[in-house]
Amino acid sequence: MAVSVEQRRKSLFEEYRVWPIESIGHHFKTMAEKYRTQPFIITETQSYTYQDVWDEGRKYAKSLLAQGIKPEDHVAVLISNRPESVFLMLGIWMVGAVCVPVNTMLREQELLYLLKQSDTRWLFLEQFAGGVMHADSVSNIYKELAANKDSHSLKKIFCIKNTDNPLDNLFQPWETFFELSVSDDILDEALAKTNDPHILADIMYTSGSTGFPKGVTITHDMILRSGYSTAISRAYEDGRRIYTALPLYHIFALAEGLMAVSFVGGALILDNQFKPLSALEMIEKHRANDILCVPSMLVSLINQTELKPFNFDALHSIMCAATAAPISVWERAKKVFNIKEICTGYGSTEVTGAVVHTEQGDAVETVSTRVGRLKPSNPSGVPELGFANIHIKTVDPDTGEDLPEGSVGEITIKGNLVTKGYYKMPEETSAVVKNDGWFRTGDLGRIDEHGYIELLGRSKEMYKVSGENVAPKEIEDVISKHESVNQAYVVGVKDAVTFETGAAFVELRPGAACTRRELLTFCQNHLARFKVPRYIWFITADELPITGNGKIQKFALAEIAEHKLAQMRRSRGNLPEENSNDQSAI
């Protein structure tokens, strides 16, 4: 594009010489006044200006207040990438309540755990989303909680009906939510009282090595600073349009997309369900300047362009992160989309999204082997950190001692974007967020002479499927509940489509019979799609690699899995390229 990276950054620096200390609600009030008629949320069929979104946010906030929702109340949002999700989150933030975004792929028991652990009292959901009939799950959950007189019971549930299936009487139709409201004066008074950037905005759940998802506490200030530093790092120009199908219940799309683009009056082209052909049609139709995705999405988009021509003359940038994409993928992306600015990054929910980015214009060799350097922060940085938002170092994974520059160690992060902890999990918090404020990521890497981070694996056992965190123990616990299973162990392995997937080693009970298909179906009934292991191998107890004190050597299991996959490739020519869940031959 014509305006240089330096010029774009200068414009953002000049616009925000002094960092505004405010809540997300007040931030959007300012943005609505500044960019009133510019598009902010664009879907396949609709477009909402900044004023539209602000007005809808106020409408939702007034109804939330009328329902009796108060500051610090926890409100769960189980809705896909629809405009209603944005309006509702904004309304929740405006009244000072805490948003609990829910992964739409969660199954009933996963959802029950999250709603109880988060102390959610109000739930807003979509009847069917993420391939799951959530109304059925919530109905069962509500009845179970009521029957047990559980103190974590839900006060009210509002549901967007989007199938022909009837709804239980316990659900309030979506339209009735707006039948109660308060005056503008009452809302303005509430908004003034909640203009505190350090109160909780979200409790975002992320999988943990214990197998139980953990609620990461995130403030208004953290989300806004993260979004602004992304806008500077990626040099957003005025009115930038970003296409994404990444869900807003993850920090990636929320901070890198929705929040970041708001600082330049840009728009989020929001896709409700990722399908390569329709995604490219939206990118072309709405003249997207940028794509926010994970590697499996990028590969699918590239492959689709080979089947049909498109006009991408407005496109100039792509950010692809969550897992590493190889050089070949980046080279193809630059060629088919005719772009120069490619970017990857590294971070986590615990540090409010990406804390490092590669530089705009970096070569594919750099983007495929490094995850970036610190995002520029000034003026959003703080004096005590040298006007940065975070500091990064490597430490010895065992002792926690600082390592010399350039040494391989566990990456640790400190700063005003680091969570204060996991909701109601003090032990899990103290295990990773130390008293001195440093967050232990569990990732191994080194910081090179240019300040770029090279990731070298994870000290934790977690793996990622298309950017989604998967905790092996959670999968192991589910498989072990099958009546035929004695024990199960799961490791992550490389995958051509999702870049990583699960491989399960299962020992059956003596005399028990079970097929791979049965176990697969069992997993599909209890786990989100991305958590279901693609490979299942039956083993005996004496085949398990163990240490002298009887612990399973997961690294050895991973090596066995990769060896088995290599043998299968040789014997079958190659493994299926589709991420099919048909494991009848595996």
Residue 382: inside a domain, yes or no?
no
Q: Residue 57: CB partners within 8 Å, gap ≥ 6? A: 25, 28, 87, 90, 91, 94
Tell me, what CATH number does 206's domain have? Answer: 3.40.50.12780
The pLDDT score that the predictor gives to residue 574 is 59
Please determine, for residue 182, whether its predicted confidence score (pLDDT) is greater than 90: yes
Residue-wise pLDDT for 509-566, tens only, equals: 889 999 999 999 999 999 999 999 999 999 998 898 876 555 678 888 999 999 999 9
147-156, 374-383, 439-448: which has the highest mean pLDDT? 439-448
Q: Which two tokens stand for residue 129?
A: 């989303």
What tokens does 508 get? Answer: 């059956």
Mean predicted confidence (pLDDT) in 456-483: 84
Res. 211: pLDDT tops 70: no
Residue 208 has pLDDT above 60, yes or no: no
**Sequence-distant (≥ 6) Cβ neighbours of residue 196 within 8 angstroms:** 23, 96, 220
Burial 267-292 (b: 16+ CB within 10 A, else e): bbbbbbebebebbbebbbebbbbbbb
195 phi, psi to nearest 5 deg: -80, 60
- What's the CA gap between 268 and 444, in Å, rounded? 33
Domain containing residue 471: CATH number? 3.30.300.30
Instruction: Give 457: exposed, middle or buried? Use CB within 10 Å, 0-12, 13-18, 19+.
Output: exposed
Query: Are residues 472 and 359 part of one domain?
Result: no
Q: What is the mean pLDDT of residues 259-270?
A: 98
Q: Residue 225: is its pLDDT beyond 90?
A: yes
Domain, as residue range, for 144: 5-368
Mean pLDDT of 383-398: 90
Instruction: Determine the average pLDDT of the residues in 291-315.
Output: 92
High-pLDDT (> 70) share of the chain, %: 95
Q: How many CB atoms lie within 10 A of CB 426?
A: 9
Q: Last residue of a domain, which of 458, 490, 515?
A: 458
Mean pLDDT of 43-66: 97
CA neighbours within 13 Å on the CB side: how many for 331? 4
Residues 168 and 264 in one domain: yes
My answer on whether 469 and 438 are in the same domain is no
Final residue before a domain boundary, out of 335, 368, 401? 368
Q: How many domains does the chain have?
A: 3
Tokens of 3: 């305006």
User: Does 292 lie in the same domain as 264?
Assistant: yes
Structure confidence at residue 572 (pLDDT):
74
Same domain assignment for residues 349 and 418: no
Same-domain pairing of 472 and 547: yes
Q: pLDDT value at position 314?
A: 97
Overall average pLDDT of the 316-338 stretch = 92
Tokens, residue 567: 């043998």
- Among candidate residues 429, 458, 487, the one where a domain is terminated: 458
Per-residue pLDDT tens over the stretch 433-455: 998 899 999 988 899 999 999 98
Of residues 463 and 586, the one with the higher pLDDT is 463
Rounded to an integer, the average pLDDT of 282-307 is: 94
Residue 580 maps to a domain: no
> Which CATH number covers residue 422?
2.30.38.10
Q: Are residues 449 and 559 in the same domain?
A: no
Prediction pTM value: 0.87
301 and 337 part of one domain: yes
* Position 247 in a domain: yes
373 belongs to a structural domain: no
CB 381 within 8 A of CB 357: no
Residue 381 located in a structural domain: no
**Do 473 and 437 sit in the same domain of this protein?**
no
Do residue 73 and residue 130 come from a single domain?
yes
Give a yes or no: residue 375 inside a domain: no
Q: How many CB atoms lie within 10 A of CB 5?
A: 15
In this structure, the answer to whether residues 314 and 451 fall within a common structural domain is no
pLDDT of residue 525: 94
User: Which three-class secondary structure state does DSSP give residue 388?
Assistant: strand
Is residue 253 over pLDDT 70?
yes
Which of the four pLDDT bands, split at 50, 70 and 90, describes residue 71?
very high
pLDDT score recorded for residue 103: 95
Q: Is residue 121 part of a domain?
A: yes
- The answer to whether residue 423 is domain-embedded is yes
pLDDT band at 328 (very low <50, low <70, confident <90, very high): confident
Predicted local confidence at residue 460, as pLDDT: 66
d(CA 432, CA 112): 26
The reported pLDDT for the residue numbered 581 is 37
- The confidence band for 491, taking pLDDT boundaries of 50, 70 and 90, is very high
Confidence of residue 582 (pLDDT cuts 50, 70, 90): very low
Q: Check whether 147 has a pLDDT greater than 90.
A: no
In the predicted structure, residue 266 carries a pLDDT above the cut 80: yes
pLDDT at 312: 96
Q: Are residues 433 and 468 in the same domain?
A: no
